[in-house]
Chain A
């Protein structure tokens, strides 16, 4: 078997196991209120981490590049209560523009 198939096999099996562990371990049970309190905060903390790593994360370095102005514009669009599609498109357009101009490369 080639290296590629070994990587595909192990990563796929591992990912399916990671996604299945919660539903298997918890069954359909309701969780105690304290645990729900913890899980309620999982979304904000993970989303903030995803924002930071997707905007400033580089190869083991914090990188300020064209993604940051894109995110800033998305923030402004959100404050102006723009629809989701507009928020996402504005971020992509600004990042593409800044990159094309060669700023913050």
Chain B
């Protein structure tokens, strides 16, 4: 991945290139989502879901629960999984372009992967990299969903291809590029431990939100 100088501003093409390897994994998961969602939701609602929500884990949770856990369970689980976008949205807000309609549009392209790719260190984000990466991932998710709805059974189970390990591997690579100092390392270790401790006890999504509280250690002034 290109290492940009901290203050230099990147381009949409840079974001798109960085997101390309992930777009393959996202596309395959989109196919899996389309295959699973067709029975539960029907083709039109499934495609609208991918276009409007653009969050794989939440959509999978909703589809898997609407059959067994009922409608309310599906809605609550999906929104809990996406509640991380509140702190994520706050973190990118100062870096997003003006005017307001562009800010809000760019915010919709902010998903875990595009957000992490666009981080330039120190809590600053490159909006153009975010938008470029977000568009590539969005198209991959939509096209994947459409292919799955058209009958993607030929692709097979994405888990047989190990695609579920592609995401933590990516997040690890991004984390390695973002820990610049001791504080960052401490925040990462604590965040991981908080999430691990909570996984058995709370619904999916909550451990990630709880781990975000660790960032409050940043309130302590830095010792010189």
- Is A75 a contact of B172 with CB atoms below 8 Å? yes
Chain A residues touching B, majority SS: helix
Task: Give Cα A22–Cα B159 distance, bound, in whole angstroms.
Answer: 34
Check: A101 CB closer than 8 A to any chain B CB: no
Q: In the bound complex, do residue A87 and residue B173 qualify as a contact, i.e. CB atoms below 8 Å apart? A: yes
Whether B168 pairs with A46 at a CB distance below 8 angstroms is no
B107 touches which one: A22, A40, A92 (CB < 8 A)? Answer: A22
A94 and B162 contact, Cβ closer than 8 Å, known pairs A8-B49, A11-B58, A19-B110: yes
Question: Which chain A residue lies CB-closest to B83?
Answer: A18
Q: Name the contact of A43 in the complex, choosing from B119, B160, B162, B163 (C-beta under 8 A).
A: B119
Q: Are B104 and A46 in contact, with the CB atoms below 8 A? A: no
Out of A39, A49, A55, A87, name the residue touching B90 (CB < 8 Å).
Answer: A39
Residues 50-70 of B contacting A (Cβ, < 8 Å)? 52-55, 58-59, 62, 66
B11: Cβ under 8 A from any A Cβ: no
Q: In the complex, which of the residues B103, B160, B184, B217 contacts A99, with contact meaning CB atoms closer than 8 Å?
A: B160
Residues of A within 8 A of B83 (CB): 18
Give the interface centre of A39, A43, A66, A99 by most chain B CB atoms within 10 Å.
A43
Contacts A11-B58, A28-B103 given; does A49 touch B184 at CB 8 Å: no
Q: A11-B58, A29-B94, A43-B91 are in contact. Are A51 and B165 (CB under 8 A)?
A: no
* A89 / chain B contacts, CB cutoff of 8 Å: 21, 166
Q: Is the CB of A61 within 8 A of B200?
A: yes
Chain B residue numbers with a CB within 8 Å of A96 are 160-162
**15 A-B pairs with C-beta separation under 8 A:** A5-B45, A7-B75, A11-B74, A15-B54, A15-B85, A19-B107, A22-B107, A39-B218, A41-B183, A45-B188, A48-B175, A48-B192, A54-B171, A66-B162, A71-B172
Q: Contacts A48-B195, A60-B200 given; 20 further ones with Cβ under 8 A?
A: A4-B40, A7-B41, A11-B79, A16-B108, A19-B85, A22-B92, A25-B93, A37-B218, A37-B222, A41-B123, A43-B178, A44-B187, A45-B212, A46-B208, A49-B212, A54-B164, A55-B168, A66-B162, A87-B173, A96-B161
